[in-house]
Amino acid sequence: MQANSQLLESIQQKVELSQQLEQWQMDMQELINDQMRSKMINNNRANSTSVTQGSSSAAASLAKRVSSYKLWSLFQR
C-alpha cells in the first residue's frame, strides 16, 4: 500500500514537472518570437531609412545630370 502511494505521488510530481516544463517552453518560444519580431521591425525601419536616403541621393544625382544636360544644350546652340 505504501509503495503504491509513493508511486502515485511520484507520478503526480512528474506530471506537474512536465506541465511546468511545457509552460516554460511555451513562454520561451513566445519570448523568442517577440524578440525576432522586434528585430525584424528594427531591420525594416533601418532598411526604409537607407532606401529613403538612397532615393535622396539618386534624386540629387539625377538633378545634377539634368542640369548639366541643360548647360550642355546651351553650348550646342
pLDDT tens-digit profile of 15-34? 999 999 999 999 999 999 99
pTM, full prediction: 0.54
The x, y and z cell numbers of residue 15, run together, are 506530471
* pLDDT at residue 66 is higher than 90: no
d(CA 20, CA 27): 10
Read off the pLDDT band of 67 (50, 70, 90): low
Domain that holds residue 35: 1-77
Question: How many domains is the chain partitioned into structurally?
Answer: 1
Identify the pLDDT of residue 22.
96
Instruction: State the chain's mean pLDDT as an integer.
Output: 81
Q: Provide Rg for the chain, Cα atoms.
A: 33
Identify the pLDDT of residue 47.
82
